[in-house]
Amino acid sequence: MNILLLSMPDSFEHMPSLVVRIPNGALTSLAGNVDPHHHVAVADLILVQRRVRATVERLVRELRPDVVGLSVMTFQRKTARKIINLIRQIKPDVKIVVGGFDPSLDPAAYCDLTDGVVDFIVRGEGEITFRELLRAIENNASYANIAGLSYRDADQFYHNVDRPAHRLLGEEIRPPDRSARVLQGYTCLGRQIDVIETSRGCTFDCSFCSIIEMLGRNFRTYPIERVLDDIRDAQKHGARLIFFIDDNITLNVRRFEQLCRAIIAAGLNNIDYTVQAMTSAIANHGETLAPLMRQAGFRYVFLGIENIVEEDLQFLRANPKNTKREHGHQAGNASIKAIEYIHHNHMYVIGGLIVGNPDDTRQSIQANLDFAREYIDWPYIQHPMPYPRTPMTRDFQERQLILNQQVEEYDGTTSVIRTEHLTVGEVEFMRWQAERWIKARHVPVVFAHAPLFTLRMLPQLAAWHFRGSTLLNFLGLEDEHKAFERYRTIRKRERIYL
């Protein structure tokens, strides 16, 4: 059969396509795990954000897919429905499958029989479920015994039992198939980028996170040699930067150190790596871990700082992973110590913070913004989002704090939760006002690393980064709130991809 796998074009504010276009690793993993006689094409629509309709039409007409799969996050749901409707107009008999975080955690949202009609929902990890589904379609067999699948029979949806988490041992999950990609242009700062997965899962229970609900409370790892082979394959396909997309790679620090040593021994430390890490892991082991990371080629570390105010950390249930320990005892917030280790070893911090929590005041938000300004190289500041089935969302619902039901605005940087002391507009304005200037300070570092890209793209980047602003704003002759409102209007318009 012909299979077309699509990721959505909607991107996060912190990851503008001018600067970074990262591939969807789940789709190439699906492509690598179907039976080999199928013809699979993977298309990441972030590469064609302003040509989505024309690209989808061309791919469907050229490839004539029997099955189309879409990977969807919550803020991409509206776009996904539009794409499904477009595909059905072109090829009415195609089978439509959706998967990813949003369909897995809110399958009811995809059981609508009037708009964006789907045939199957793959819930949770999809490689084996999708493989078994294709076999059933091909053989006209029953879907009833495929774990992790929801399927439509006429006007009724049936939801099979959940599939247990994959163990990641042996050949259970085969390596991704990067050759299935049919679009080009995966870049970060002008250099080709790819993604690698070395583990899955997390054992912490942060209230804002979907991973426990999606995968359960667990931590599973691929063998180190498999990871090295995957890096080599990404490099063979042109990657010069690699982003490790593990949910929490630093849960096992000893294994992460082994991975760093293996990368060095294999001569794969000529690649620039970015990784997501816990502040506590870096703070508690940074004296030996951080130099090893730098030697292995790591350049950026995304730290899940979450918040520097103790009350907010308690609300986010993120205290354990942000606590430094000394001599077996808790020794305060781990963030500053982790950042010191990273900076001392010539790496840079992408700092994840969440502001606009229900009890936040102007002072508590400002404290986080001041912290970002002083310690963080590239801020990744978000607002709490009511993503399906998270503990945070249940709390928001019970307290009736959700002011905006338009899920396309659940993009992390649109404030949608009522706070006790500030309006959603005030929360969002404070973040927007501070964050763009903090990011601008990082331009010299980017220039030193990618001078030609910076010189070529700087006018476009400045225009994008300060969109909504005018000369009057910079001269202090116009209230910045007017620029902010223009920015919000532009951002709403940018969300329309077809």
Claim to verify: residue 396 and residue 297 sit in the same structural domain: yes
Residue 320: predicted pLDDT? 72
Is 178 part of a structural domain of the chain?
A: no
Instruction: Please name the helix (run of DSSP H) or strand (run of DSSP E) that holds residue 257, with its range, or none.
Output: helix 253-265
Look at the chain and report how many structural domains it folds into.
3
Domain presence at residue 132: yes
Q: What gap in Å lies between CA 24 and CA 6, rounded to an integer?
A: 9
Q: Please check whether residues 368 and 243 belong to one and the same domain.
A: yes
Q: Do 438 and 474 fall into the same domain?
A: no
- Residue 329 is predicted with a pLDDT of 44
110 plus 233 within the same structural domain: no
Q: Give me Rg for the CA atoms of the chain.
A: 22
In a domain, 311, yes or no: yes
CA distance 210 to 165: 15
Question: What is the per-residue pLDDT for 187?
Answer: 96
Tell me, yes or no, whether 306 and 321 share the same domain: yes
Is there a single domain that holds both residue 68 and residue 11? Answer: yes
Same domain, 276 and 400: yes
In a domain, 176, yes or no: no
Distance between CA atoms of 283 and 287, rounded to whole angstroms? 8
| Torsion on CA atoms 205, 207, 210, 213, rounded to nearest 10 | 60
CA–CA dist 117, 246 (Å, integer) = 32
Domain presence at residue 232? yes
Same domain, 314 and 424: yes
Q: In what helix (H) or strand (E) does residue 98 lie, and over which residues does it extend?
A: strand 95-99
pLDDT number for residue 330: 53
The answer to whether residues 317 and 443 belong to one domain is yes
Is pTM beyond 0.85? Reply is yes
Let me know if residue 491 belongs to a domain: yes
Domain range for residue 291? 186-460
Both 117 and 16 in one domain: the answer is yes
The 149-153 sheet, strands edge to edge: 39-44, 2-7, 67-71, 95-99, 120-122, 149-153, 156-159
CATH value at residue 101: 3.40.50.2300
Bridge partners (DSSP) listed for residue 398: none
- Contacts with 288 (C-beta within 8 Å, 6 or more apart), sequence order: 257
Residue 180 lies in a domain: no
Residue type, 86: L
Question: What is residue 317's predicted lDDT score, i.e. its pLDDT?
Answer: 77
Do 162 and 148 contact (CB within 8 A), yes or no?
A: yes
State pLDDT tens for residues 238-247: 999 999 999 9
173, part of any domain? no
Domain of 345: which CATH number?
3.80.30.20
Q: Do 377 and 476 share a domain, yes or no?
A: no
Claim to verify: residue 311 and residue 442 sit in the same structural domain: yes
Question: In tens digits, what is the pLDDT along the chain, a chain of 498 residues?
Answer: 999 999 999 999 888 888 899 999 999 999 999 999 999 999 999 999 999 999 999 999 999 999 999 999 999 999 999 999 999 999 999 999 999 999 999 999 999 899 999 999 999 999 999 999 999 999 999 999 999 999 999 899 999 999 999 999 888 999 999 999 999 999 999 999 999 999 999 999 899 999 988 999 999 999 999 999 999 999 999 999 999 999 999 999 999 999 999 999 999 999 999 999 999 999 999 999 999 999 999 999 999 999 988 887 888 777 777 766 564 545 567 899 999 999 999 999 999 999 999 999 999 999 999 999 999 999 999 999 999 999 999 999 999 999 999 999 999 999 999 998 999 999 999 999 999 999 999 999 999 999 999 999 999 989 998 999 999 999 999 999 999 999 999 999 999 999
